Structure 1
Amino acid sequence: MGGEVANDMELPLSWAASGQSILKLNIRHLWLCGVWQLPGSWMFEAYGALGLALGVWNAIEGSLAIYYSWGDMEETTLVLTSTVYIGCNTIKMAFSRRNRRQYYALARRVQTLVSLQSESCFADPALAGIQKDSQRLALRLTLGILLFMFAQCFVWFPTPLVAHPGERRLPLVQHAWDNNTNYYALSYASQCVIGAWTSQLGYSVDLLFMAVMILVAAQLRILSLRIASLKTEDCEENLEDGERRMNGMPADTCDKMYENLCLCIETHQKILRFIKHLQNTMSSVVVTQFCCCVLVACVALFQATYSTDFSAVLMCASFLPVPSSHVFLYCWAAHNVTEQAEVVVFSAYSCSWVEASGRFKRALRILISRAQKPLVLTAGHIYPINREAFVSLVNASYSYYALLGQMNRRSNQIIRS
């Protein structure tokens, strides 16, 4: 039975089902990028395969350009900026298509997770506000960042035509082997298409996981408030038989506070199981993204600092927020999940446990013991994803940039001497 339920969770969503999902915008944007079936057909598979083929072609094109420009650090780093970034997004596309069943299950499970505490949210406007605010934040960040990345196309793609009119320059990778003479229009169009396609795809995958983590953090916050609001029920002492009673019934059979705590513990366990599934689903993507962004930020900063071509400086300066924002999205959202998980412990201490029954205190100790275990999302089950990780990756990127700058100065000194 459990296997059948798991298989049902991994089935593709229909178009109508995606419209009712809390991740509607993320799912349909991934569908537009050729990753998420709704439900799908051979035409959709061909469409996705075309995206992968264009990504592979760009990697080949970039490798050839690096070979022909080797020794020219400015040209090499400019090619690396686009080639590594597009290559990273192509790898993410391959991972997403391979693990699409996990993505389907993730969408269904997050919907179930949000509905777990819907009754409490319905009864308390403050809790309902937290849930609505998290959904609104996820939607606005997704839409805003996708539009920001789309705006980059108007910087990168027309710049060669404006800055170098008549020189037949390409937007991403120059064909040094034929001086951009063969199939210039086709090459220009293909680079624009693959650049726009993969940049939207790369952000779309990251924003899906960011949205899920925002929703999970909100559920942990709601759970903390529910636990902190647990109060001792009105009790009365039966003086004739000395039996502690609650609302006219024995406390052992009518302990509403204990029942509410049990519901909170059950919700906490389901959230932890969901986070484990989220960890397994996004682990390979996060590792790829972190490695890529360190290198891309390094070479883009080098171009923005040392390049003598104003158009290259403009493109790289406008591109610099992109790799850092990829990393920041994960680190910020995952850190919020960790923080809200820690709040559960303090909320348990804040409830009215002193006057509660013995079984309530025993159950509360179990909750506290479990909640005290740090809940840290990791990349590849090794590298923690939090704000400290973001600072560490930025420092690593700057260190590589400083190394490139030192190598560039030495090479210039050798040429002058």
Structure 2
Amino acid sequence: MEALSLNLKLLQFSGILEPPIVMKSQWKRWLFSLYMITSVVVFIPVLMGELLAVYHFWGDLVVITNNIFTMVGNITFYGNALYIISRRKAFMHLVSALDQMLEDIPRWNVKQQMITKETIARSRKLTWSLLVIIYLVPVSWSVAPVISMLMPDAEEEILAEPVNEIEEFWRSLISIMWLPLDATQSPIREIVYTCQFIVFVLTASYYTSVNTVFVSFIVHISGQFEILISTIYDMDKTIEKYNDPYALREYFVNVISHHQSVIAFAKELNDVLSPLLFFYFMSAQVMMCVMAFQMVLTWGEQNNFLKFFFGLLCVMAGPFFFCWQGNVLIDQSLKTQQAVYGCEWYERNSDFKKMTHIVITRAQRPIRLTAGTLYPLSLESFAKMLNSVYYYFAVLKQLHEE
């Protein structure tokens, strides 16, 4: 399917969906299962090490908030991946429903083809933009530990003061950990770093693939409303061209069917997406708060500040893209009533006027996707989310100062 081809490839790359090539042989299915098991096996010790670090460094607000970001992020995005895997049937039905809706567009013409191509292009641009923003985090967070491990002076200091420097080593990793062993010696430290790096890359791939595919769904729904509006605006010209008394009713019935199919698809998407977004938006607020806190603490330390800045940018990007495209969807759905009201309904028969009234009445209620029941996807909701984050940040900063 061309409309979601890039997004489906990302889901296959991350291991959430099985690539078609995997289904062709037994050993490929075995390797794919091994890959999925390995991703979980690697995640567990990293998460345990982060939890132990919270216990070991209890009272150090800087360490705890740092670990909250990595723990909440890893749990959230691993959870997103498991959610899609558990609802794979409903998700694949969404993919096939979108494909069918694109094939069944009435009155297919050059203008509608252009809108479809622009929608696909917009979806891919958003996907690539989010991909670049998200992968800044594993890259920026992984550089500093590598540099510290490659510096010979750092190793000498570790040998000189083993107890203190071991704790400093735990603090210098991608995410702060504590394990009941001395991991400052090779090859243990390389193994620990590699496990953390794998988890970060997997987390980034889950974050990217899950978020971009659902943002793309929203973009395509907005594109369907653009096509619907274009069809309505062309209705009068088309009817006058063919001068067929039966053509008007058939044309408008097709418009109504298309409108209903888009509404039904949006409802089906919301049923799948809403629980996922509720959990994601709640955890995103926590991560934004602690990243803003870390940025304030590391102001002037260029390397650490940039690391936390990219972390904040990454966490903000997902909710912003959802709310932005959700806002576009609301606007496009409301334009339907304007398009219907703008046609020459006053020159038509009573049957056509009744159908017009029904469409306008339904179109007055905008299509809103939601995160649970708390957050309708709109820029207003995103602004409220940022206000909440600032409030939590102010409380956290006050606790640190006290």
TM over 0.5: yes
More helix by share: 2
What are the Cα deviations for residues 222-251 of structure 1, in whole angstroms up to 9, with x where unaligned?
10121133218459xxxxxxxxxx95xxx8
Alignment of 1:126-275 (within 5 A): 126-162=111-147, 165=151, 166=154, 168=169, 169-175=172-178, 177-178=180-181, 180-181=183-184, 183-231=188-236, 233=239, 254-275=245-266
Equivalent position of 2:276 in the other structure: 285
Runs of 5+ consecutive residues of structure 2 not aligned to the other structure: 24-28, 159-168
Cα distance between partner residues in 1 of 2:60 and 2:182:
16
Alignment of 1:10-409 (within 5 A): 20-39=1-20, 40=23, 41-117=29-105, 120-121=107-108, 123=109, 125-162=110-147, 165=151, 166=154, 168=169, 169-175=172-178, 177-178=180-181, 180-181=183-184, 183-231=188-236, 233=239, 254-307=245-298, 310=301, 311-409=303-401
- 2:274–2:371 CA contact under 8 A, matched in 1: yes
- 1:289–1:326 CA contact under 8 A, matched in 2: no
> Which one-letter code corresponds to 1:289 in the other structure?
Y
Cα distance between partner residues in 1 of 2:343 and 2:357:
12
Cα gap change, 1:163/1:405 in structure 2, threshold over 3 Å: closer, same or farther? farther
Q: Tell me the TM-score normalised to structure 2 length.
A: 0.87
> Which one-letter code corresponds to 2:279 in the other structure?
T
Cα distance between partner residues in 2 of 1:256 and 1:104:
36
> Which one-letter code corresponds to 2:31 in the other structure?
M
Runs of 5+ consecutive residues of structure 1 not aligned to the other structure: 1-19, 236-245, 411-417
> Which one-letter code corresponds to 1:262 in the other structure?
V
What are the Cα deviations for residues 363-386 of structure 1, in whole angstroms up to 9, with x where unaligned?
111111111123211112443111
What are the Cα deviations for residues 124-159 of structure 1, in whole angstroms up to 9, with x where unaligned?
x33322211110011122123213322433311011
TM superposition shift of 1:179:
6.0
- 1:230–1:352 CA contact under 8 A, matched in 2: no
TM superposition shift of 1:308:
7.5
TM superposition shift of 1:318:
2.1
TM superposition shift of 1:178:
4.4
Cα gap change, 1:393/1:54 in structure 2, threshold over 3 Å: closer, same or farther? farther
Cα distance between partner residues in 2 of 1:335 and 1:51:
36
**What percentage of residue pairs aligned between the two structures are identical?**
23
Cα distance between partner residues in 2 of 1:295 and 1:309:
24
1:320 counterpart SS class: helix
Cα distance between partner residues in 2 of 1:333 and 1:78:
31
> Which one-letter code corresponds to 2:14 in the other structure?
C
> Which one-letter code corresponds to 2:124 in the other structure?
L
TM superposition shift of 1:53:
3.4
- 1:69–1:176 CA contact under 8 A, matched in 2: no
- 2:91–2:272 CA contact under 8 A, matched in 1: yes
- 2:63–2:176 CA contact under 8 A, matched in 1: no
> Which one-letter code corresponds to 2:111 in the other structure?
A
Cα distance between partner residues in 2 of 1:179 and 1:296:
30
Cα distance between partner residues in 1 of 2:178 and 2:33:
31
> Which one-letter code corresponds to 1:230 in the other structure?
M
> Which one-letter code corresponds to 2:354 in the other structure?
R
1:157 counterpart SS class: helix
TM superposition shift of 1:95:
0.5
Range with greater deviation from structure 2 (278-287 or 292-301) = 278-287
What are the Cα deviations for residues 291-331 of structure 1, in whole angstroms up to 9, with x where unaligned?
11100010011011014893433311222111110101111
> Which one-letter code corresponds to 1:215 in the other structure?
H
Aligned length: 373
Cα gap change, 1:382/1:394 in structure 2, threshold over 3 Å: closer, same or farther? closer
Equivalent position of 2:162 in the other structure: none
TM superposition shift of 1:163:
5.9
Cα distance between partner residues in 1 of 2:269 and 2:337:
22
What are the Cα deviations for residues 386-413 of structure 1, in whole angstroms up to 9, with x where unaligned?
1111111111111111111000111xxx
- 1:79–1:172 CA contact under 8 A, matched in 2: yes
